[in-house]
Amino acid sequence: MKYRMLGQAAVEISVVGLGCMPLTPFYGIPDKSAAIAAVHRAIELGITHFDTSDTYTNGENEELVGAALKAHRKTAFIASKFGQIRRPDGMEINGRLRHPDPLAVAPDSPTPVISARACAADLIPNDTARGFAILFDQDHGAATYGVADKLAQMFERVVLVTPRPQIAQRVNYCSAIGVYRRLFGAGVEIEPAYELVQLNGRRLICRNAYVEREKAYDDVDLLVYATPRSAVDELAHDLADLEMHLVGDCQSPRDLMAAIHGGHAIGNLV
């Protein structure tokens, strides 16, 4: 096994690590004893880097990896994650959606501004007029377009605004065709390459993401945003005594390729 220095930490880890997600029920139901044996075999082969997460089988994966490495605490290095807490049914309950940046909302604006999650949970204020809704899409996932479809059934006019040049970039090509067909069939207007700038009263100002050009929408009754999640860092102070190396940019959710590319680039920097 070859080993490599971990950034500036003055420690060596194996260049090959063990991804532990399959060791607990995820792609199937593995045998627990066999899973622990796999970790021990990895150690015999010289592997010292183990990857797990609190989201893998609702924490069971971390517990299994911890038990398997109990006798190797001084030589094993564990890469884990935190903040994406899920209920027993798998639904994520932590990680608030970030307020759209750089949107400025006037204090006296009567237009409600809510997240796509709130909209999906039927948390639209009861006194909201059902005329004109705008959905700001930085997520580009299938769930966001489900919200767009729902808004189209509730409002007379719906405009989907995204800072990217097109939508559905986190949806496979064949499914994206269905997304476009569904949205256009529901009468949803799609406005690419614009970001939100200011909500003053019921007037929303948008700015082109590539050139200094603005567009205004008047009489907006509801503004819904699907954006990256805010970092959940409540555990940070409890980990202050541990030597940690933080990587990533909390721009979640991202597709797998973007996450791997970003992590690889940041890892090279440290």
Classify 165 as helix, strand or coil.
coil
**97: which DSSP letter?**
B
Kindly state the tokens that stand for 114.
């809510």
d(CA 98, CA 240): 25
Q: What is the mean pLDDT of residues 86-109?
A: 68
Sequence-separated contacts (24+) of 258-267 with Cβ below 8 Å: 267/7
Contact call for residues 85 and 92 (beta carbons, < 8 A): yes
pLDDT at position 235 is 64
Classify 223 as helix, strand or coil.
strand
pLDDT at position 249 is 47
99 or 25, which is more confident = 25
Contact call for residues 98 and 111 (beta carbons, < 8 A): no
Query: In this structure, what are the phi and psi dihedrals at residue 173, rounded to the nearest 5 degrees?
Result: -55, -45
What is the band of 76 on the pLDDT scale with cuts at 50, 70, 90? very high
What is the band of 98 on the pLDDT scale with cuts at 50, 70, 90? low
**29: which DSSP letter?**
-
Q: What is the mean pLDDT of residues 42-66?
A: 90
Q: How far apart are the first and last CA of the chain?
A: 22
d(CA 196, CA 224): 11
What is the band of 172 on the pLDDT scale with cuts at 50, 70, 90? confident
215 pLDDT above the threshold of 60: yes
Kindly state the tokens that stand for 31.
């045998």
Contact call for residues 260 and 127 (beta carbons, < 8 A): no
85 pLDDT above the threshold of 70: no
Q: How far is CA 173 from CA 149, 157, 162, in A?
A: 19, 27, 18
pLDDT at position 198 is 94
- The residue written with tokens 């995820």 in the block is 26
253 pLDDT above the threshold of 80: no
Cis link prior to 102 (omega < 30° from 0)?
yes
Q: What is the mean pLDDT of residues 122-137?
A: 94
241 pLDDT above the threshold of 90: no
Contact call for residues 1 and 16 (beta carbons, < 8 A): yes
pLDDT at position 19 is 94
pLDDT at position 183 is 96
Q: What is the mean pLDDT of residues 97-123?
A: 86
What is the band of 10 on the pLDDT scale with cuts at 50, 70, 90? confident
d(CA 259, CA 247): 11
Measured at the alpha carbon of residue 258, what is the angle toward residues 256 and 264, in degrees to the nearest 5?
100
Query: In this structure, what are the phi and psi dihedrals at residue 59, rounded to the nearest 5 degrees?
Result: 95, -15
Beta strand pairing call for 194-200 and 104-105: parallel
What is the band of 84 on the pLDDT scale with cuts at 50, 70, 90? low
d(CA 65, CA 50): 8
pLDDT at position 154 is 95
Q: How far is CA 185 from CA 117, 120, 161, 214, 258, in A?
A: 23, 20, 17, 27, 31
Mean pLDDT taken over the chain: 84
pLDDT at position 252 is 46
Cis link prior to 253 (omega < 30° from 0)?
yes
Q: What is the mean pLDDT of residues 151-166?
A: 95
What is the band of 30 on the pLDDT scale with cuts at 50, 70, 90? confident
Kindly state the tokens that stand for 146.
């489900």
Domains, in order of start, for the chain: 3-91 (no CATH), 104-226 (3.50.50.60)
What is the band of 262 on the pLDDT scale with cuts at 50, 70, 90? low
